[in-house]
Structure 1
Amino acid sequence: MSQRLAGKTALITAAGQGIGRACALAFAAEGASVIATDINLQTLETLNAETHITTRQLDVTDREAIHALAAELGALDILANIAGYVHLGSILACSEDDWDFSFTLNVRSMFRTIQAFLPAMLAAGGGSIINMASVASSLSGLPDRFIYGTTKAAIIGLTKSVARDFIAQGVRCNAICPGTVQTPSLDDRINAFDDPVEARKQFIARQPMGRLGTTAEIAAAAVYLASDDAAYTTGTAMVLDGGITL
């Protein structure tokens, strides 16, 4: 590895599995000191033995817990907001509770973490904020992703607003917009179908490349955005989707 993140401190949410875990491993491999957080301590256990990674339980829907952790840790160089939830269905299948939960987990959590960690980041002279969005957003409408796409579009707006407000103070804020990525969460959604084999084929078929993305591919993009290689990059919505949006 090139040690592109040597000397940097990073906090990652939802780091217990999937994209968050891949980001934690990739950041650590590039030399960062990583605080890997997740609500589920069991999923974090596999990271405890990794070099440069410490684990902490964090519920990103808990404002007090977020601010307490921010006060404890002080300035970060990198904040990677990965936590999210995929609701299945059209607007007709979305209840008020579904709406509230999805916005709380997918959007309000990022509002809270950025608001909590940004002051120390600014005082230290800057940093990189990375928000996980999706191509199921303002970039492209996917079937049965009404509330998910709505929240992910909101993340892109949040990202651009933060980027613009603090561009002169050394803080960069970017979003990553993956297509369908092979994760434990995807497996759970596929296995919930009556015919999981056919469902997987359909998930794969909507990528013109003919395959699912990997968590390592998304993590590689996050490493770039976290590193000084991306010093001229802010307010972007980086698309990694196997061609869905073409």
Structure 2
Amino acid sequence: MKDFDGLKAVVTGGASGIGLAAARLLAERGARVAVLDLDADGVPEPLRGHRADVSDDASVTAAVSDAAGALRGIDVLVNNAGIGAVGTVEDNDDAEWHRVLDVNLLGIVRTTRAALRHLRRSAHPAIVNTCSVAATAGLPQRALYSATKGAVLSLTLAMAADHVREGIRVNCVNPGTADTPWIGRLLDRAADPAAERAALDARQPMGRLVTADEVAAAIAYLASPAAASVTGTALAVDGGMQGLRLRAPEPGR
């Protein structure tokens, strides 16, 4: 498939995990892709790396401008940069709440704000935000993270309404627990990493973690001109975690 031929894409947090998988897939399907990341030096070709800190407006504005210049425009923006947080509502102090909200929510605001003038010149403009099943399902020990992703879901819908008459589509993907470097680090810190992984696997009805490539495929669909009538949508890629309610397995099965 070369449905992105001639299109230019910017992916934040694109140096690893879901962002790198999405950037690679868009490039494979014909797009010219710029990756914005805190550490973009090791980004593989043909991806173009640009250093950006999404918590700093000047950094974002400069990186988006540089990427648009190198690509000669922007047609697709994938707002993927984000960080995790663990704990109940009382386990993180105000500084940590501000830090995670600054990256996960305001990072999207800053990058979109910088990219809009370029997207308005595109014949096929699309924005895809990486949200989470945590926006729609109550998960233990994820109060701060869930709050940021709930805000991302609401922001996605508001942005879709604001820009639909400009022809700019805005959607998000809601991954379940994905097999990414952040989850790997979380498991490494667990008292029993194998047991913790088994618990995460079991939480999703399909019985395994979501892969970065599976989330990337959903991002590519939402970003593609083939999805020209899709806007204001949250696409779950969660192994059935949000929508399915299965009976407990019978003993011996």
1:128-177 deviations in Å (ceiling 9; x for gaps): 0010000001x111111001011001001111111101101110000100
Q: Is the 1:179–1:213 contact (alpha carbons within 8 Å) kept by the matching residues of 2?
A: yes
Aligned match for 1:208, one of 194, 205, 219:
205
Q: Kindly indicate whether residue 219 of structure 2 is the aligned counterpart of residue 222 of structure 1.
A: yes
Aligned match for 1:106, one of 104, 107, 124:
104
Q: Is the 2:75–2:118 contact (alpha carbons within 8 Å) kept by the matching residues of 1?
A: no
Please say which structure displays the higher CA radius of gyration.
2
Which residue does the alignment assign to 1:163? 160
How many Å apart are 1:98 and its aligned residue? 1.2
| Matches of 1:79 and 1:124, distance apart in 2 | 12
TM-score normalised by length of structure 2: 0.91
What are the equivalent positions in structure 2 for 1:134-153 lying under 5 Å apart? 134-137=132-135, 139-153=136-150
What are the equivalent positions in structure 2 for 1:37-52 lying under 5 Å apart? 37-41=36-40, 44-45=41-42, 47-48=43-44, 50-51=45-46
| Matches of 1:128 and 1:83, distance apart in 2 | 17
What are the equivalent positions in structure 2 for 1:19-168 lying under 5 Å apart? 19-41=18-40, 44-45=41-42, 47-48=43-44, 50-51=45-46, 53-72=47-66, 73=68, 75-125=73-123, 127-137=125-135, 139-168=136-165
How many Å apart are 1:125 and its aligned residue? 4.7
Q: Is the 2:51–2:63 contact (alpha carbons within 8 Å) kept by the matching residues of 1?
A: no
Equivalent residues, number = 239
Which residue does the alignment assign to 1:178? 175
How many Å apart are 1:124 and its aligned residue? 3.6
Matched residue type, 1:110: I
Give the alignment's Cα RMSD to 1 decimal: 1.2
Q: Kindly indicate whether residue 19 of structure 2 is the aligned counterpart of residue 16 of structure 1.
A: no
How many Å apart are 1:78 and its aligned residue? 0.4
| Matches of 2:156 and 2:60, distance apart in 1 | 19
Which consecutive unaligned segments of at least 5 residues does structure 1 have?
none
Q: Is the 1:89–1:144 contact (alpha carbons within 8 Å) kept by the matching residues of 2?
A: yes
Which consecutive unaligned segments of at least 5 residues does structure 2 have?
245-253
Matched residue type, 1:103: L
| Matches of 1:125 and 1:69, distance apart in 2 | 22
